[in-house]
Amino acid sequence: MPSLRVALYQGPSGIPESTADSLAALAAAARRAAGSGARLLLTGELYLTGYALGEDVHRRAESASGPGAEAVARIAAETGIAIGYGYPERSGTALYNSVQLIGPAGERLANYRKTHLFGPFETACFTPGDDLVVQADLDGVRLGLLICYDVEFPEAVRAHALAGTELLLAPTALMRPYEIVPRTIIPARAWESQLYLAYANRCGAEGEFDFAGMSCLAAPDGTVRARAGAAEELILADVDTDFLKASRAENSYLADRRPRLYTSLV
């Protein structure tokens, strides 16, 4: 039996008129996901507001316990499904590109701030987070959180593997022409660090950006268990911790590491 059924929501495309529009789409996706047996729904990066906001991101940002979080908690409790969603987080005078994980009873499980910022928009608007490994447990599965560009650094994913993460959640805003990331890098990261990796991308055009879609769930054997196309889509796949244990026993990357040889890298 699968340990956890996961739904990835790729959409809707474009910048929402308001957070209320994002929340309405999220509620509909959560109902569909829960109806298909999913216990966890993951959205794309900066889901609540859209990505290509420029300086307007400051106006739309909110705290980790703000009205957006309260609304997502209600959706999670009503549907009985955990929800990981991307949003711009305001904390004091700082702004973070964050993902928050809400449990199936509406409880806050974890909040992660993107540690590797990408491009001039992010570096100008956001402060990088300092905590690389943020985890939570759901139905006996150890979850970890990263965001988009973070997973393109093998060190970040390996840190999660060494900390016991079994399913790594990565809300994403990957634009064209970088389709090599979901096509090649994400399965490779799952294989080399022996974990499941859920990669939920945005889709469609926003300002100067054309998001690639191609959301996927990659397994520790390097296969892709579900893959979205380029448009709005909800995909589902199963995470099996027994399969993960067997894969780690067969693929000994983690056990065969020689950390003393790598100290010069840091």
Tokens standing for residue 88:
């711009």
Q: Residue 148, by phi and psi: left (phi above 0), alpha (psi -120 to 50) or beta?
A: left
Residue 43's contacts (CB-CB under 8 Å, 6 or more residues apart) are 9, 26, 29, 83, 84, 85, 86, 171, 200
C-alpha dihedral, 245 to 237 to 165 to 51, nearest 10°: 160
* Cα–Cα distance measured from residue 203 to residue 111, given in angstroms and rounded to the nearest whole number: 24
Q: Residue 13, exposed/middle/buried by CB under 10 A (0-12, 13-18, 19+)?
A: middle
- CA-to-CA distance for 241 and 71, rounded, in angstroms? 31
Helix (H) or strand (E) holding 85: strand 82-91
- The helix-helix angle for 19-35 and 67-79 (nearest 10°) equals 20
Do 157 and 169 touch, CB atoms closer than 8 A? no
In sign, the C-alpha dihedral spanning 64, 65, 67, 70 is positive
Active site residues: 45, 114, 148
Structure tokens given for 114: 């993107």
